[in-house]
Amino acid sequence: MPIEMLKGLPFSVDTWSSKSSTKNHFLTHAHKDHTQGICIYGSYPIYCSRLTRTLVLQHFPQLDGSFFVGIEVGQCIVIKDPDGDFTVTALDANHCPGALMFLYEGKFGNLLHTGDCRLTIECLQQLPLKYVGTPGKEPKCQIDCIFLDCTFGQSPLKMPSRQSAMQQIINCIWKHPQAPTVYLTCDLLGHEDILMHVSQTFGCKIYVDKAKTPECFQALELMVPEILSEDTSSRFQLFDGFPKLYQRAEAKIAQARSDSQHEPLIIRASAQWYACDDGSSDIESWKKGKCDQPVRDIFGVWHICYSIHSSKEELEWALQLLAPRWVISTTPSCKALELDYVKRLFNQHRNFNDPFWQLLGFSMDVESEVDIETAPDVVEVSSSPLAKCNAQDYAENSQSTTSSFSICRQSNPSPSSKTAAPVTLFGRARLGLNGSYFKHEEKEPILPDENAVIRCSDELEVISLKKEEVVVEAGKAFAVSESLDIMSKESLMHTETENCIFESAVGLSNSYNPSLRKLYRSMHVPVPRPLPSLTELMNATKRARRRRLLYTETFRLPAFCILCVHYNFMKK
What one-letter code names the amino acid at 347? Answer: N
CB proximity list for 387: less than 8 A, separation 6 or greater: 354, 355, 356, 358, 359
d(CA 531, CA 509): 10
**pLDDT recorded at residue 1:** 63
Tell me the C-alpha distance between 225 and 216, whole Å.
Answer: 12
Q: Specify whether the CB–CB gap between 354 and 383 falls below 8 A.
A: yes
Q: Residue 349: its pLDDT value, please?
A: 59
Task: Indicate if the pLDDT at residue 133 is higher than 80.
Answer: yes
Alpha-carbon gap, residue 54 to 356, rounded angstroms = 39
Q: At what angle do helices 192-202 and 162-174 cross, to 10 degrees?
A: 40
Say if residue 366's pLDDT is above 80: no
Indicate the residue type of 361. G
Separate counts of helices (H) and strands (E) for the chain: 17, 20
pLDDT given for residue 94 in this prediction: 96
- Please tell me the predicted confidence (pLDDT) of residue 170: 97
Interatomic CA distance for residues 200 and 240, integer angstroms: 21
Most confident among 71-80, 270-279, 365-374 (mean pLDDT): 71-80
Higher-pLDDT residue of 246, 535: 246
Q: Let me know: does 493 contact 480? Beta carbons within 8 Å.
A: no
pLDDT of residue 334: 67
Q: pLDDT at position 552, please?
A: 57
Phi and psi for 455 in degrees, rounded to 5?
-100, 115
pLDDT value of residue 188:
93
Element (H, E) at 126: none
Is the peptide bond preceding residue 45 cis, with omega within 30 degrees of 0? yes
Is the per-residue pLDDT at 558 higher than 70? no
| 567 membership: H or E segment, kind and range | helix 534-571
Secondary structure of residue 463 in the 3-state scheme: coil
Span of 37-51, 188-202, 326-340, 399-413 with lowest mean pLDDT:
399-413
Percentage helix, strand, coil for the chain under 3-state DSSP, each rounded to 5: 35, 15, 50
Distances (CA, A) of 349 to 112, 181, 342: 21, 57, 10
The pLDDT of residue 286: 72
Largest Cα–Cα distance in the chain?
116
The gap between the terminal CA atoms of the chain, to the nearest Å, is 92
Over pLDDT 70: what percentage of the chain? 61
Mean pLDDT of the chain: 74
Pairing assessment for the beta strands 76-79 and 86-92 based on DSSP bridges: antiparallel
What 8-state DSSP symbol labels residue 102? E
Residue 432: per-residue pLDDT: 31
Q: How confident is the model at residue 267 (pLDDT cuts 50, 70, 90)?
A: very high
When pLDDT is cut at 50, 70 and 90, the band that residue 546 belongs to is confident
In whole angstroms, give the CA distance from residue 478 to residue 108. Answer: 54
